[in-house]
Amino acid sequence: MPSLVDLTSQDLSSYTPVAPVTASTPPTIPATNMEPGLNTVLRCPIPPVWQSSPDSLRQFYQNNQVPQIRLFNPPPNSNVAPAASVTPATTTVTNVTKVTNTTTTVAFTLSQTDVTASRSVGVIYTATSNLFITVSGSLFLGVGHTATLKGLSNGIQVAVDTISNGSGYASISFMVPAGFTYEVVTGAIGPGDTDPIIVRSWIEWTLG
């Protein structure tokens, strides 16, 4: 195998090329301006500060010399449908009736009866009319004794008052509809006491 020196020093004058050699054609100068166009994403006339490059800075100048102001109108939104015509609403008011307020006064009578002498604690009574009842009692048994005064209507407790520390007064008020039963009971909480509250007043008002 010949050496590299022998190969490069050979006489090639007797050789003929297969195809004629043509001179290389220089690239054609573009007829259009290849300067980068306007960036539609940037909306500010100030060049970028971070990661700037000659290409990004050159778009802010015309022919790389004259600064240009980059204030753009917002692009039109082609996806928005045209506004539909609006028909003004019409209001029709008919059948207007004048309203007159009428005040009705309901009269009722209220009669008071002291039934203390004829009523007893723990006895069930029946109201023949609508009643408003007030009952008061007292307790004097010394410190440490506590008792209650309760009003019941149809077996349901509707009023209660408590006397603490063995002395004082208790008072209850409740209403009983006609036909309902009513009862007043006392309850001793202190040790060794049985119905310690003494009823002093039992008043019934008849509502009619």
Cα–Cα distance for residue pair 173/23, rounded to 1 Å: 127
| Ordered domains of the chain (ranges, CATH) | 110-207 (2.60.120.40)
Taking all residues of the chain, what is their mean pLDDT, rounded to a whole number? 76
Is 177 in contact with 133 (CB distance < 8 Å)? no
Is 163 in contact with 169 (CB distance < 8 Å)? yes
Q: Does residue 125 register a pLDDT over 90?
A: yes
Query: DSSP character for 96?
Result: -
- Residue 179 makes CB contacts below 8 A (sequence gap 6+) with 126, 127, 128
Per-residue pLDDT tens over the stretch 1-17:
678 888 778 777 777 77
Per-residue pLDDT tens over the stretch 55-114:
666 655 566 555 555 555 566 666 666 666 667 777 777 777 788 888 887 776 788 899
SS3 181: strand
